[in-house]
Amino acid sequence: MHKPASDNAQDIHSSGLKATWPRIRILRLFQQTTQRHLSAEDVYRSLLADGEEIGLATIYRVLTQFEQARLLTRHYFESGKAVYELNEGQHHDHLVCMMCGRVEEFCDPEIERLQQQIAERRGFELREHALSLYGVCSNPACQAKARAESRG
């Protein structure tokens, strides 16, 4: 879903931030990229490839501001490196390949139901939750690397 810059400016303004060019450009990148989870370095490289010279410090600052404004959601997958995705208001969980870092999003009603039951049995009222499952994807290179590591 591509949005014109004016809509991006409105989204930014609605979140309580001033619609500066770096903010508009970074939000547009998240809205237009096919890669759903981006690190600050990914954003920097992508903008540089598009001829945009926005400094890494500015990118970090904008990502933090967008997270605080709930435009983006931050995750720490197995690498320990922060990655961000658009906060589209729909809950989902993640499968993460421990070999290549590929992230697959999913939502399973049975898992959601079980998490709710577990919380209730333990006297909790769920407000939010995140589930990340780590494994090895079906990519032959990842499979071979995992086999080599298990022998190693």
- Residues in the annotated binding site for Zn(2+): 97, 100, 137, 142
Range 46-77 burial, b when 16+ CB lie within 10 A, else e: bbeeeeeebeeebbeebbebbeebebbeeeeb
β 93-97/103-106 pair status: antiparallel
* Third-level CATH fold of 91-152: Dna Ligase; domain 1 (3.30.1490)
- Counts for the chain of helices (H) and strands (E), in that order: 6, 5
| Residues 86-138 pLDDT 10s | 988 888 899 989 898 888 889 999 999 999 999 999 999 988 888 889 899 99
- Residues in the annotated binding site for Fe cation: 91, 93, 112, 129
| Residues 20-60 pLDDT 10s | 999 999 999 999 988 889 999 999 999 999 999 999 999 99
pTM of the model as a whole: 0.73
Query: Can you tell me the distance from the alpha carbon of 48 to that of 54, in angstroms, rounded to the nearest whole number?
Result: 8
- Residues in the annotated binding site: 91, 93, 97, 100, 112, 129, 137, 142
Domain 1-89, architecture per CATH: Orthogonal Bundle (1.10)
Q: Do domains 1-89 and 91-152 have the same CATH topology?
A: no
Q: Where are the domains of the chain?
A: 1-89, 91-152
